[in-house]
Amino acid sequence: MSEKLVSVIINSHNGAKFINKSVNSVLNQTYKNLEIIFWDNASVDNSKEILQQISDIRLKVNYSEKFEKLYSAKNKAVKLSKGEFLAFLDVDDWWEKDKLEIQILEMEKRNCGLSCSNYWIINEKKNSKFPAFKKNIIRKNHFDSALKKYFVGMSTLIIKRDIYNSLDYGFDHSYEIIGDYDLVLRLLKNHKIVFLNNKLSFYRWHINNLSNKKFKLNILELTLWRKKMLQNKFFFNENSKKYLYDHILFLMSLYFKKKNNNKKIIFFLTKINSFKVFCKILFLLIIPKELINKIRS
């Protein structure tokens, strides 16, 4: 396999305690032809000192003078990259050493411009790990599969640059939470993806994860995204409309369970299309909130 240049995008704001593990997991890849575009988003911790201690010309650090919104920063980092492939790694995650080699080999073998993999979820509170997916979950329609059960961990995603450039725009900087989701769904609308069940990345689950801290905003952004995409009558089919609608109602039910508002949950039950989602919301209605919090932790 010819080693084409891979650009690995890492964004960080005050991520000093994670930098060595994440950056070195990239530099130690068996696939050597890579560059790291590290975007330090106006950190005020000792990130700069740690980065200056890593002596590898493949690490290219950019220090932002002012704090940028996450997806604005990602767009700027992508523009600085030169690779034929784009890969992404959150600063608090890390990779198996053969991650790039396995995925790119499979992409070239299948002539496919997108790939992702299974990954380990690390629960720091319980000092445990478990796989994100127990089996290969993709069906024939990758777009509908992702709407029904989202399967793309951003720290596992690799995109051929020409496919990324074929989009009308990259990351939508108006979002704070769902920018990755938006990008991936727009890619999957017109392109297939290679999903590998190999667990090639480690996702660190902790209390500071953005999606955990801003659950309500996540629901709001998904609702606005659905409304925006419905303006394009060719983006969703009837099934995919139902998948997304039911998913948003489930998230809203979970939110109102935390607020002890069972009347709202009962109302959502009357609007569900999927029997499976109906049962999930009914389960939320029945079990104590404390048990839900324990499961989610």
Q: Are residues 169 and 250 in the same domain?
A: no
Asked which of 173, 205, 237 is the last residue of a domain, the reply is 205
**Domain final residue, candidates 171, 205, 239:** 205
Let me know: does 114 contact 35? Beta carbons within 8 Å: no
What's the average model confidence in pLDDT over 114-136?
88
The CATH number of residue 167's host domain is 3.90.550.10
- Report pLDDT digits (tens) over 41-60: 999 999 999 999 999 999 99
Helix extents (H) in the chain: 16-27, 47-52, 70-80, 99-110, 142-148, 161-165, 179-188, 210-213, 215-230, 238-258, 262-269, 275-286, 289-296
What is d(CA 233, CA 216) in angstroms, rounded to the nearest whole number? Answer: 27
Q: Which two tokens stand for residue 63?
A: 């220090």
CA atoms within 13 A of residue 246's CA, in its CB half-sphere: 19
Provide the b/e sequence for 224-237 (b: ≥16 CB within 10 Å). ebbeebeeeeebbe
Please say whether the beta carbons of 90 and 18 come within 8 A.
no
Confidence of residue 2 (pLDDT cuts 50, 70, 90): low
Average pLDDT of the residues in 99-120: 96
Note the pLDDT tens digit of each residue in 216-264: 999 999 999 999 999 999 999 999 999 999 999 999 998 998 888 999 9
Question: Which domain, by its residues, includes 277?
Answer: 212-296
Q: What's the total number of domains in the chain?
A: 2
* Final residue belonging to a domain, choices 154, 184, 205: 205
Q: Determine, yes or no, domain membership for 1.
A: no
252 shares its domain with 142? no
Query: Is the same domain home to 34 and 148?
Result: yes
- What pLDDT score does 126 carry? 79
pTM of the model: 0.92
Are 178 and 108 in a shared domain? yes
